[in-house]
Each structure stands twice: as C-alpha cells, then as structure tokens.
C-alpha cells in the first residue's frame, strides 16, 4: 500500500541507482546517494531524539536540501524550509509559529543561523547538514536500519510532510501543513494529467521553500527522472538561461509566467531557442497573450499547460492543455485534476451556473491539514462543505473568483481580497502595510498593486523619507515584497466612509511615472 | 550618466549607484529590475539592448551599463 512518499524513492533507488536525480548543473546527487543521505540524516535525527515534530531547514537551492527534506521524513518528522534571502526578523516570526527544536543549515546560511541564535529569534539547536549526512565512517548500521523501520511501521498517510509559509495579512506568515496522502494524490494526478515519465528532464525554477517544487521533486523520485535546480541568478539573463536548458537537454519546465516572459520579451527565444523543450507548464500569474503566442510560435511541437492551484490544496489543482484561442481570449485555468472537485460557489451558497461568477472552492484529498498553530485562520478558510449538512466534510475556500466558460473550462476572474500575485509570489498587501506601520516615523501606510505595471507601491504619512523607509522594509520583508516605490503624502486620502481610499491610491500608482 | 543613475535610483532609492560595483554579485538587482532597466533605457536613450548583451558583467555597475549604452549608441 502506498501511504508514504518515501516509498517512491525506495522503489526507484534500487532500479536506477546511478542515474542523476537532482543537480544544479555542476553538483548533483544520484538516486543511490540521495537515498543514502536521506536515511543517514533520518537515523541521526532519531538517535538524537527527534521524531514526529517540525524540523526547520535553512539551506540553499541545492540537491543536499532535498536530501535533508527526505531525511526529516525518515525520522517521522516534517520539514519547514526557510528562504535564506529573507530578513532574519521574518525568519524569527516563522520560527515563533513553528517552534522547532532543531534547525539544519548549510555553509552558505551559517551566518544567518548564528544570527538567529544571537538575536534571540531561535531558542533551539542548530546543526550543519554536514554533521548529519552520509560520510566516510558514517555508514548506516543495522541499528540505524532498525530505528528507521520502527518509525515507518508507526507512520500513517495523514502524518504531515511539510509546512510552507505564505504571506499573512496580519503581518505574521501563515504555515500551510500538508500530509503524505495529499502529496501522493497530487503526484499521481499531476503525472497522469501532464504525462511525466522516466525520460523527463526538469529544470526547476521555483525556490525550495514553497510547495511549487513538488511538481519536479515528486515525479523525479516516482519515475526516476532527473531534475536540474536552476541557479536563481540565471533568471536575470535570458541567453544564459536558454543555453543552460539546451546544455542539459531539458525537456520539461513548470515555471511561473514571469520567468517565461523574461526570455520571450527580451528577445532570447528566437535566437537561443531551448530546442529540447517538449512540455511547458506555466502558472501562478496570468500569461500575457502576446508573450504566450511568442512561446507557442517558437516551440510549435511542444505541449503547453496552464496550471492553477493554491498551496492550501497541495500545489496545483487545475490544468488546461493548450488549444487554439480566439485573439482576445484569456487563457483559462481549465479543469481540476482527477480526484479533485472544483466547486464554484455563489454568495448565496449554491454552485454557479455557466458564465456566473463564484468563489473557487476545492474538495478532496488535495485539501491540506490547515494552518499550523493557527486555528482561527484555519477555521476561516477550511470550512464545512456548505452543500453538505449531513456529515463532516472540509473544503478549502481559495478567495479566488472564477467562472466557467461555454466549454466548461474554469476562467480566473480576480481575487476577493487584498492578496496579490507578484513575480509568482503570493503576497498579502496587509503584511507590507504592517511592516511599514511598524517602521520608525510612519503614522499611516497603504499598499497598492499596479497590476498593469506589475509594481507594488506604498503610500505613507510620517516623518521618515522614502529611502529610509525602503531600508527599514528590507530588514523586515523578503526582496519580492519590497515596494517598487514609497511615496510620502501630507495626509492619507479617505473615502466618504472614512476608510483609506485604496482605489484612488491604486489609480494614482497606475498613473505614476515609472 | 546622470539620467541612468536617476533610472536606477528610481528602482532602488536606498542604493548609491555611483559607487556600487556589485549590483548582480551582491544580489541588489532582481529579474524584474533587469526588465525595467532595459525598457527604460530603450525609452530614454533610444537604444535597444539585444539579448546577447544582457549579461552579468554589463549590469554589475552603473558604469558598466553606461559603457554598454554608449557602445550600442555608436553602432
């Protein structure tokens, strides 16, 4: 019975032990190495007394990080990956929610790990990955195998795998916690819908501290495929990026739209076509039609898929295999994966008719366990199915508004609240406002998103200058949440009801010179 | 050069672009900044930066970027 994701790895490692599993392009791990490292980490954690608890991982985008994730799972623990680029202050907020006893770090993040201890943001133990992984003289013993076996025998498929932190409107990130059963369901349905296999060569774009890389990690260990973890820096230089794809014979990418448009809009697609690409999945944002058409034209033989889904329903929930579109037609998000029910609920609590708008709600094994240590936020979004009053059944309300077109395809309309998608990152504008409001000399702050210019703007009232405020925000927020501009106002504009005039400020941002 | 510094300062008002020589190396610019810079340069200097020139060494400092703009302007 398949009830633990490590079974994928355990079936694949003996079958293709010497095949490359994960690589940066210069450093990699074969399936045998991955399996061995993971079991070593797991056994060491168990001998140190860690089991069935969160383990924080502060490591770079590297195959070792994936081995560490699996290592935590071997110990019957669940992992939470932290972004090394985020300020330690925000890491502290996350650690305060998670309260792990242990944090594993790599060389590149040693300074950050130490800072967390020195500034009193973390009260647990920090350990370098090198102390836990497989090394000469640290082979797995019979005793190690026995403790690993004992833990696995007790595990069930509703035990958690990971906690992924997303932006929260109150200023504290929310941790989505997902279990083995949801990830297995996601892996099986995603692989069936897109058609991955042993010959798939992925180029992963998204950072490892999100749920998004599950799209590459899980099919890779299921089929014995290969995934390249593309260095982040390459996503600024389109020719270098295309050459990387060709050099490693990458045939599949599942990227956020902004990464794809960077290549096409800067003119690298025609002269440096990534010619081995046969499958292009995109998502997290609306693909501008002009750029999408450039990609279709450059790779006429490739299959294109739009993917859509919230972290709270384990990665992606819907897919749309590309078909020909009318010139002004918006790219739909399509239909749900097998074993996922997409309910479009109207405000009066019924399923929306074709063409009618409703809130996108998801039902099924894909629905995660909720927000870690946050029963209030969990209760708001993970709710009893309003169409079923007879027995407990939890669905997830995405807060996204959608409608079905005449073909029965789901089309994304807008967000219900102040959440935005920027560069593929999910951001609550409220979190930026909360950070600005706590900066010195700021009396009031309002954050807006200029969707056409793809810019976050911050308007504020206070005694501080824009440059000083930006600096303060950099110490509190990850780089992708820093506003493109901060503008000081003499007074905050208000609506007749006395609320901040967000609409007016958004228009002001849209008309602002770049 | 001053106009270029102004464009860059518009993106990151907390960075001194006259002295900073590690815009890429020190992770100051992100991919969105690169796209904005290319658009702005095209608008204000009437210079198109071809994909082949979008390389780390041409974006690591305002001086390097200015040299690139001058070179492209001559062609």
The span from the first CA to the last CA of chain B, in angstroms, equals 19
Q: Are A345 and A351 in contact (CB under 8 A)?
A: yes
pLDDT in tens, A127-145: 999 999 999 888 899 999 9
> Are the beta carbons of B11 and A484 separated by less than 8 Å?
yes
Residues of A in contact with B39 (CB under 8 A): 514
Q: Which two tokens stand for residue A260?
A: 């794809």
Tell whether A414 is within 8 A of chain B (Cβ): no
Residue of A nearest to B40 (CA): A514
Other C-beta atoms closer than 10 Å to the C-beta of B57 total 10
pLDDT band at A194 (very low <50, low <70, confident <90, very high): very high
Mean pLDDT of B16-44: 89
Q: What is the mean pLDDT of chain A?
A: 94
> Span A303-415: which CATH code?
2.30.38.10
Q: Which of A22, A17, A44 is nearest to A32 (CA)?
A: A17
Q: What is the CATH number of domain A1-155?
A: 3.40.50.980
**CB–CB contact B32 A233 (8 Å):** no
A160-181 pLDDT, tens digit per residue, is 999 999 988 778 899 999 999 9
pLDDT digits 0-9 by tens, A17-69: 999 999 999 999 999 999 999 999 999 999 999 999 999 999 999 999 999 99
Domains of chain A by residue range? 1-155, 195-301, 303-415, 434-510
Q: Which of residues 60-89 of A touch B (CB under 8 A)?
A: 85
User: Span A195-301: which CATH code?
Assistant: 3.40.50.980
Class assignment of domain B2-74? mainly alpha
Measured CA distances, A294 to A172, A299, A305, A328 (Å): 40, 9, 15, 15
Instruction: Return all residues near A396 (Cβ < 8 A) that are at least 6 apart.
Output: A310, A312, A313, A361, A362, A363, A367, A368, A381, A382
CB contact (8 A) between residue A271 and residue B51: yes
- Measure CA A258 to chain center: 15
As for the ipTM of the complex, it is 0.93
- The structural domains of chain B, with segments of one domain joined by +, span 2-74
Kindly give the pairing relationship between strand A160-166 and strand A358-364.
unpaired
Chain B interface mutation, best of A61, A233, A237, highest count of B Cβ atoms under 10 Å: A237
**Ranges assigned E (strand) in A246-329:** 252-256, 279-283, 303-308, 318-321
Q: State the nearest Cα–Cα gap between B68 and chain A, in angstroms.
A: 15
- Pick from B14, B24, B51: CB nearest A238: B51
Residue A149 or residue A437, greater confidence:
A149
Which residue on chain A is closest to B6 by alpha carbon?
A: A514
Give the minimum alpha-carbon distance from A259 to chain B in angstroms, rounded to a whole number: 8
User: To which H or E segment does residue B42 belong?
Assistant: helix B31-45
Query: pTM of the entire structure?
Result: 0.90
Backbone phi and psi for residue A488, each to the nearest 5 degrees, phi listed first: -85, 135
Nearest to A239 among B35, B38, B51 (CB): B51
| Cα–Cα dist A293/A299, whole Å | 10
- Is the pLDDT score of A422 beyond 90? no
Contact B51 A474 (CB under 8 A): no
Confidence label for A417 from pLDDT (cuts 50, 70 and 90): confident
Fold topology of A434-510: GMP Synthetase; Chain A, domain 3 (3.30.300)
Give the residue from chain B lying closest to A85, CA to CA: B27
A1-155 matches A195-301 in fold: yes
Angle CA A270–A273–A274, to nearest 5: 160
Strands, E assignment, A27-77: 28-30, 54-58
């Amino acid at each position: 019975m398949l009830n633990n994701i490590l079974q994928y790895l355990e079936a694949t490692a003996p079958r293709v032990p010497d095949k490359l599993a994960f690589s940066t392009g210069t450093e990699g791990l074969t399936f045998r190495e991955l399996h061995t490292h993971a079991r070593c980490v797991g056994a060491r954690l168990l001998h140190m007394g860690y089991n069935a608890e969160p383990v924080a991982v502060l490591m770079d985008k590297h195959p070792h990080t994936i081995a560490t994730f699996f290592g935590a799972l071997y110990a019957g623990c669940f992992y939470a990956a932290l972004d090394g680029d985020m300020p330690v202050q925000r890491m502290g907020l996350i650690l305060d929610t998670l309260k792990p006893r242990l944090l594993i770090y790599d060389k590149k993040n040693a300074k950050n790990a130490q800072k967390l201890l020195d500034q009193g943001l973390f009260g647990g133990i920090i350990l370098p990955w090198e102390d836990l992984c497989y090394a000469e003289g640290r082979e797995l013993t019979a005793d190690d195998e026995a403790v690993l076996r004992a833990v696995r025998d007790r595990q069930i498929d509703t035990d958690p795998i990971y906690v992924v932190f997303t932006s929260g409107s109150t200023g504290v990130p929310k941790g989505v916690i997902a279990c083995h059963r949801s990830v297995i369901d996601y892996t099986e349905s995603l692989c069936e819908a897109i058609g991955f296999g042993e010959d798939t060569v992925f180029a992963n774009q998204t950072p490892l501290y999100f749920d998004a890389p599950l799209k590459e990690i899980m099919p890779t260990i299921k089929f014995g495929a290969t995934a390249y973890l593309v260095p982040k820096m390459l996503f600024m230089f389109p020719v270098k990026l295309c050459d990387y794809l060709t050099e490693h014979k990458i045939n599949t990418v599942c990227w956020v739209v902004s990464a794809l448009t960077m290549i096409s809009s800067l003119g690298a697609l025609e002269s440096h076509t990534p010619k081995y690409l046969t499958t292009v999945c995109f998502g997290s944002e609306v693909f501008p039609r002009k750029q999408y058409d450039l990609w279709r034209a450059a790779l006429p033989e490739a299959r294109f898929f739009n993917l859509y889904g919230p972290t709270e329903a384990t990665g992606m929930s819907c897919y749309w295999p590309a078909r020909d579109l009318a010139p002004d037609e918006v790219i739909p998000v399509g239909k749900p994966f097998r074993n996922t029910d997409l309910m479009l609920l109207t405000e009066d609590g019924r399923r929306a008719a074709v063409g009618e708008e409703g809130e996108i709600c998801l039902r099924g094994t894909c629905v995660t366990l909720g927000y870690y240590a946050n029963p209030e936020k969990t209760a708001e979004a993970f709710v009893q199915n309003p169409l079923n009053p007879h027995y407990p059944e939890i669905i997830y309300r995405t807060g996204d508004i959608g409608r079905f077109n005449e073909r029965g395809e789901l089309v994304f309309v807008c967000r219900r609240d102040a959440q935005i998608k920027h560069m593929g990152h999910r951001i609550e504008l409220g979190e930026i406002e909360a950070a600005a409001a706590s900066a010195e000399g700021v009396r009031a702050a309002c954050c807006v998103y200029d969707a056409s210019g793809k810019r976050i703007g911050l308007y504020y009232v206070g005694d501080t200058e824009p440059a000083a405020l930006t600096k303060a925000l950099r110490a509190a927020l990850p780089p992708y949440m820093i506003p493109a501009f901060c503008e000081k106002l003499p007074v905050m504009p208000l609506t007749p009801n006395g609320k901040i005039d967000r609409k007016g400020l958004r228009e002001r941002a849209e008309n602002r010179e770049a | 050069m001053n106009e270029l510094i102004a464009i860059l300062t518009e993106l990151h008002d907390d960075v001194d672009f006259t002295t900073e020589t590690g815009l890429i190396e020190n992770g100051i610019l992100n991919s969105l900044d690169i796209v904005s810079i290319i658009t702005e340069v095209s608008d204000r200097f009437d210079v198109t930066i071809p994909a082949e020139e979008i390389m780390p060494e041409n974006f690591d400092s305002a001086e390097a970027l200015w040299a690139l703009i001058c070179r492209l302007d001559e062609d």
